Amino acid sequence: MYNLLRKNIERKIPLTEEEWNCIVSKAELIKLKKNEFLQIQDSNNSYEGFILKGSFKTYILNENGTESVIFFSFEKEWMCDLESFYHQKPTTYNIKAIEDSEILVINKVNKAKLFVEVPKLIQFHVIMIERANIAIQQRLLDVLNKTSKERYLDFRERYPEKMQTINNKNLSSYLGVSHEFLSKIKRMV
């Protein structure tokens, strides 16, 4: 079951059986039904996680109660509220399953233990943080420099198999447009 995680790690660093067993011993499998939360905004419960199955949305609730979707995360991807996890601050984001999902998570204490027990995981950690920073920068550049239509087309090209999973409300929030405008974009393409 955890094979997807092992393959993901071993694309960057080789693992012995002993190292792999150490990783598995520190990870926790969480199964969530559609619309269940992995993390609730302003809580003190933050994980770093690898998605084995399913999809998640990471979003904030604005003062007026509307959702702003920041990211979607899918199978074989890592997910984390970085500031909360690394600085032990209250969580910034809600993370909610948008379909039945399974995720392997680790808390900060167990991750620190892993770095001591399997030091080469630090190299993998650096790679993960670099990718997260690049993804955040790319998301910001897309929002600032691309039209809503271009962002929609990019998303559709990158995740064609997930287009049926994400409803128009979530997709329009992610793109920063109204439901009506999203419908117009879909008709144009």
pLDDT at 189: 82
C-alpha distance from residue 147 to each of 56, 84, 116, 174, 182 (Å): 24, 31, 46, 13, 12
Residue 52: CB atoms within 10 Å = 19
Alpha carbon 137 to its chain centroid, in Å, reads 15
Residues 6+ apart with CB under 8 A from 150: 142
pLDDT means per 10 residues in the chain (189 residues)? Answer: 91 95 95 96 89 95 90 93 87 94 95 95 92 91 93 92 89 91 88
Burial of 137 (0-12, 13-18, 19+ CB in 10 A): exposed
Tell me the β-bridge partners of 94. Answer: 59
| Residue whose pair of structure tokens reads 């979003």 in the numeric block | 59
Q: What are 96's strand-pairing partners? A: 37, 57
